[in-house]
Structure 1
């Protein structure tokens, strides 16, 4: 009785061994480092950039080593973490605004562990330091642009059907259409019902005026808002990932807000520079000579040479196709002239709109308007006269191409007029990752220094150590030999938690450390139930071997129920919680599953090895 087959012991040994291997990388403290990356594709770091960085650090007397140059960035390791911020400021000043310099932590995991896929846990913003932004998507602008687009669509249909005596005016929440008589109104009403299924129509009569009030449906508004937020979410994720920020967090919060956390970046202005590097395109026809001022806009050229030659371009206000319709963009070369260009592929709606807009305008010129949103900081005063920093996203619009339409365009075409392959690559990147559906404003921003992150780590580790020590002492005093088994299982549980989180690529946060502390206390709960049941059976006169078996068998159902309900709560917390709550839920969930294994199978294996199959007169429990 109370003996495991050999394969069970081997399985437990294998799992624990793998846990030790995959948790090992976390004992190798990362080196403080600075990371240098270009602010655009035109400024990719080179060997000369690395030489400038090394020279500047040598002049400052900052010890550094292990310089690494890759296609995207430069990583320089430092001897002292206290030198990080100083090194970042000085290197940034030496390189200029064309490069982004951030503090980082460089992994020191041995190569043999890396070859096995073993990596340390990532540290969250509260432990690694960095910047936190809460951004709000300007969804009212999305709705306004939609209404303006519907207004232009309706006017085209009215002209196409030669309906005279109809006036269309767009407002904040919809359109107001008036007709000179009731029959004309009914004709327009039927036309709008057929062509504009997304609006709600309501007839009205006022002082002899026959009108129609058109408003967007609530469902359509939510769809438009969701699209704008999700599109901007994808934009920010792609852009941050392309820049090379370590372990960024970009996620939606509420109806129209987005949280951005960039560990390792300490200067909010640098972070805004990264987030501000988003772009969009608009394809518009060149305005005719007789076009009224209300129908056209004038824009400068992106290329100074074209600016001097053309003196700017006048384009129609009506947009043929937006950048959001761009499915893919890649930098290529013109096979005839070898000049750089960007190959564009539009989605279905974009291809249809482009075809409609160009097939009847062959011979006219079409402009490609490049729109880049940049943060502009201004100081305003609140009601009490205090200075408040406000950051607005301002759109800079420039024409990058103005070419004659030779034939009707469709799904695929190219943009020319670019200066260099680097500019083509940058534009392709921004189009792939930077089609903002709506501008965004900064609602909140915070900066967490690396020293505060190090203090959080130290306090978190100390709390785990104190909690672990108290539990170990209690189990030893109260359960004697069986307390030793529980303590061994508890140590194995901590190892497995760290190993599983490292293998999953989970990010460790301060609430996550709190989850580990809670798990330390909960991990022995199962053993307390088992050992208490064994004591009761022994008091009732049951033989020792039978008492041990009964204790594990009868307590199992109770342990499973308790842990399963806690796991369900942890899953719910992860599903609906924000970042800190998710961090707590992850470690709690992992801790529950590993503690079930170590508390039941782990301690049972130790008990069976020590007492299984033996004739015992007394049990120290």
Structure 2
């Protein structure tokens, strides 16, 4: 039967429209300025802390809409941004550094929409603004770390060629000093070490000692490499937590600016961005009496040191690091058979070889997993740089019972949330040098509110003009095309709201308008085909059927070519180009659905099984 769909077609189309409408609805509701408070290092805010914050808000008479706690995160809603910013300063002074206090915008989505996880679209930095973080890199700490490595290497090198020395240490200027017994030893050491260390400046200090400095050109190389690698890792971290369309760029010699649009889950983003954590695997030294070493550290050999477990128990470790987090290619968190959180780790080929060789040679011994994190002490040095404190905890000690390859698991982590955070940090890469967020503030739309309004108005006027043309030129079929166009817009909005990691930018809106234009173009092809078949003498129902059939191939060809172009733009484009491409891809797919199936369904409902004498087209 001509122009008649089976019932299931109508049901499927209705379900698509209803679901799209439900997930598009959250975009009609506003947002509330909010403050989110969450614990650091995988910890949660508990009920007692919630009561403390609630009492503080009441005592300071901060006008707020509500205060709630869910999944260890305290959320306060305010009527305006001014009160939000005042409350943030007051709360930050109260909670100190154990908690993260972050500004946010919470969508005013009804509970029944929250129940189906319906959320508004994420808007890009150009449309809505967001939060900007200014991050400072601790290059001085990185230089100290490199000098410590040089210290260990030089100690080994001098021992290999039997050049005796009295002492080797790092002075207050992060330079190495090596004291020798005689002037002859100084000369021998200078000749040998200069032949090996081309990136260092070695000078005779005229008191049987050598001063070792890092060459200025090498410091610049270190700085450049640290900046680029940290930018790459920060981008990975932001992408891991679903904050797309964010920008990470360099600012000056040792600063990075991170712009996060949409202000979504900033508390978590702030913690993930600012955390500098890694793992080191070291061998446990059981050959020394622990109690005696605690009384007098002088009995400790120069290659060992005391570290502490999470419960405060001391352990003697060798200083030599077997492996670091730099060799970790993938990690995830899970629960073992005893219900304890674990982090599963996969190493690269080089790391796997190192771990396999080491464990094969040290079966029966114990290996410790040392968790290292740098935290801001709140103090600055004489140069104005933030002083970071290095916190180290042994989270696991395991007996080497058999050789270990490139995959293994770490236990001993406090809770599943910390295990999840640690696995994400390891998965995205270890920061080359510690960082510190020194500024955080909200930023308005980068395009300017007036430009955004004018851009949206131009898009709206274009669609209205298109609707008027279609209705005047194609009458009822033109009206059907416009209805399909509106349905297409609803579906695009719903899909964009559902899909994770998609952020709407101004260029994305241009992609939507383009796809809507393509949708109208498809309807024009169909309408012209129907008119052509009517002129050829076919009946109305036959003309409608043949019009859709003959226009189908042209519509598919034109949409596929546009889709290929959009895919190329997405693959090779950056930032706004990608935003335009992804919205064009979504729009083309939905426009083909509404232009072909949507309009045909409406036409079938109107003209199926009816004796139509005249077609208004």
TM-score computed with the length of structure 1 as normaliser: 0.64
Match of 1:433 among 422, 425, 429: 425
Residues 350-361 of structure 1: pairs in structure 2 closer than 5 A: 351-352=355-356, 354-355=358-359
Structure 1 contact 283–369 (Cα < 8 Å) conserved: no
CA distance in 2 between counterparts of 1:268 and 1:110 reads 22
The aligned counterpart of 1:322 is: 324
The residue aligned with 2:196 is 169
The answer for the alignment partner of 2:477 in structure 1 is 482
**Deviation string, structure 1 residues 277-321 (Cα, Å, up to 9, x no partner):** 2222445678999xxxxx969999789x999x99xx9975x5333
For residues 147-296 of structure 1, the aligned pairs below 5 Å read 169-171=196-198, 232=233, 236-237=237-238, 241=241, 247=243, 261-263=259-261, 274-283=272-281
Note the C-alpha offset of 1:16. 2.2
1:122-161 equivalences under 5 Å are 122-131=122-131
Structure 2: tracts of 5 or more residues without a match: 162-190, 201-224, 294-300
| 1:4 equivalenced with 2:4 (yes/no) | yes
Contact preservation (8 Å) 1:231, 1:437 = no
How many equivalent pairs are there?
A: 527
Instruction: State the distance in 1 between where 2:90 and 2:430 align.
Output: 34
Q: Secondary structure at the match of 2:196?
A: strand
Question: Are the aligned partners of 1:331 and 1:421 in contact in 2 as well (CA < 8 Å)?
Answer: no
1:559 aligns with 2:555: yes
Matches within 5 A, 1:484-523: 484-505=479-500, 506-523=502-519
Deviation at 1:104, TM superposition (A): 2.0
CA contact (8 A) 2:104 2:264 kept: no
Q: What is the RMSD computed on CA atoms of the aligned residues?
A: 6.1
Partner SS, residue 591 of structure 2: helix
Secondary structure at the counterpart of residue 320 of structure 1: strand
TM superposition shift of 1:596: 1.0
Q: Distance in 2 between matches of 1:515 and 1:490?
A: 15
The gaps in structure 1 that reach 5 residues or longer are 174-223, 290-294, 381-389
Partner of 1:372: 374
User: How far did 1:567 drift?
Assistant: 1.1
- The question of whether the paired residues in 1 share the 8 Å contact of 2:125 and 2:445 is answered with no
Structure 2 Cα separation of the partners of residues 330 and 601 of structure 1: 45
Structure-1 separation of matches of 2:52 and 2:392? 35
1:508-543: per-residue Cα shift (whole Å, max 9, x none)? Answer: 333322222323322211111222233344455554
CA shift, 1:559, in A, is 1.1
Over 3 Å counting, the alpha-carbon distance change for 1:463 and 1:32 in structure 2 is farther
Q: Aligned-pair distance for 1:78?
A: 2.0
- The CA distance in 2 between the partners of 1:366 and 1:113, in whole Å, is 48
> Residues 170 and 47 (structure 1 numbering): CA distance in 2 closer, same or farther, change over 3 Å?
same
SS in structure 1 opposite 2:321? coil
Give the corresponding residue for 2:174: none
> After the TM superposition, which of the residue ranges 28-37 and 76-85 deviates more from structure 2?
76-85
Query: Hey, what's the Cα distance between the residues in 1 that align with 2:542 and 2:264?
Result: 62
Deviation per CA, 1:226-272: give whole Å up to 9, x if none. x978994697359x85xxxx846679999xx9995534669999977
Secondary structure of 1:319's aligned partner: strand
Q: Please name the residue that 1:471 is paired with.
A: 466
- Secondary structure of 1:494's match? helix
